[in-house]
Amino acid sequence: MGLFSLVTGIKGRSGYGSATTAEEVTQGIDAGGITAIVTGGASGIGEEVVRVLALRGAHIIVAARNMEAAEISKQTILESNPAAKLTTMKIDLSSLKSIRDFADNFTATNLPLNLLINNAGIMFCPYKLSEDGIEMQFATNHIGHFLLTNLLLEKMKMTAKETGTQGRIVNLSSVMHRYPYIGGVKFKTINEKSKYIDMLAYGQSKLANILHANELSRILQEEGTNITVNSVHPGVIMTKLMRYSSCLIKITHFFSFPLWKNVPQGAATTCYVALHPKVHGITGKYFCDCNETKASKLARNGGLAHKLWEFSEKMVRYK
């Protein structure tokens, strides 16, 4: 979808566009019987995704770092939808131990898993290493979701096989995937402070989200597994994700307000790819404004995707 479509809200081939809301793209869809995990589901786009999926009947596990915020969000949703099936569980995507603990705790529930939405993230933060010694944006936005997805994959495969319902994995990326470091991912200096530029580090992590989705999609297709994997750009939305660059963002917002979405619009593409029948069987694609869109050349580089996969496996294996 181009700039004209974004500003005007004109609808694309899917029948939806930049002005469409999450409720509109899921209208009439029955998600009863579906169990979903949404990371970062206690605020912003994630919270709206949780609210709308629950409205359609899905059982949502709200995976959040701040459990107090998660419980407040849960109660708010229950006030408007008393039938909502919501479970809160703690996870810190920057901590490999926390991710492994979450996966163990979820497995212990014996719940099925049809849908995984890798939504949580941080943006433009100052240089910092995670507790595992990984640059924080790369750790939280990519490595954390890479490990989480791998740990939950067998449960998703089992659920898809036993129910006959296609599983779906959705990675939240960003248009900023087009603006990473030169070459896309600086494998040799990923954690070096002297090489760190916050915006390029964010672009790198968002590129990694697409490469991860594409490589996993390829692997699952080769296996003949009934699970699709896609990535989405939700749009530019003013949320807590912007907290590290609030002054710059507010100035930019003032001069470019027609390009920005509200949260219900920002959650639409995620909900469309997660639930809509039109996306059944579609995998390894990138969506924007609820329509399939071409990602950057780097994001479509299969060799880079494979290299990132092997690099990520080593990072999580030895930590």
d(CA 106, CA 300): 33
Catalytic annotation present for 196: yes
C-beta atoms surrounding 159 within 10 Å: 22
| Angle, helices 302-317/198-223, rounded to nearest 10 degrees | 100
d(CA 274, CA 171): 10
16, 196, 202, 272: the active-site residue = 196
Are 306 and 215 in contact by the 8 Å Cβ rule? The answer is yes
d(CA 48, CA 53): 8
3-class secondary-structure state, position 230:
strand
**Which amino acid is residue 316, in one-letter code?**
V
d(CA 3, CA 9): 10
CB neighbours of 202 closer than 8 A, spacing ≥ 6? 123, 124, 137, 141, 174, 176
Q: Could you give the residue numbers annotated as active site?
A: 196
